[in-house]
Amino acid sequence: MSIQVHLDRLLAERGMTLTELADRVGVTVVNLSILKNGRARAIRFSTLTALCEALDCQPGDLLSHRPG
């Protein structure tokens, strides 16, 4: 997929685990894992908002587009 998810990097920079993030945003660890591994087909605005609030970042920090 040409959309890259940088959840790994953001978690490492903030010293946060996936389980902690899941608790904060109210999304299951399984779903966050799907997102982290680039297997998600879509992301809800509500999930994106919750992630941005929990990680104190912009959507662009979390997602990027790689052409080709």
Partner 1 sequence: MTVARDPLQPLTGIVRLLWSVTTVLSLTAITLVTVASYGTSVCFTSQVGTELIRTVPHGEVGYVSAGSLRVCLSEPSGWERVLYLVDVALPMVSYAVLFLLLMGLLERGAVEGVHTVATADRLRRLGWFTLVAVPVATLGEAAARILVLAEVRPETDLTSLTAEWDVPWWAVVSGLGLLALGKIMRTSAEMRADLEGTV
Summarize as ranges the residues that interact with partner 1 (CB under 8 A): 27, 31-32, 34-35, 39-44, 47
CA distance 48 to 46: 5
Residues 6+ apart with CB under 8 A from 67: 2
Residue with Cβ nearer partner 1 (31 or 52) = 31
Q: How far is the CB of 31 from partner 1 (least distance, A)?
A: 5
Instruction: From residue 20, give the alpha-carbon distance in Å to each of 3, 14, 17, 48.
Output: 24, 11, 5, 16
Q: How far is the CB of 41 from partner 1 (least distance, A)?
A: 3
Q: How far is the CB of 56 from partner 1 (least distance, A)?
A: 20
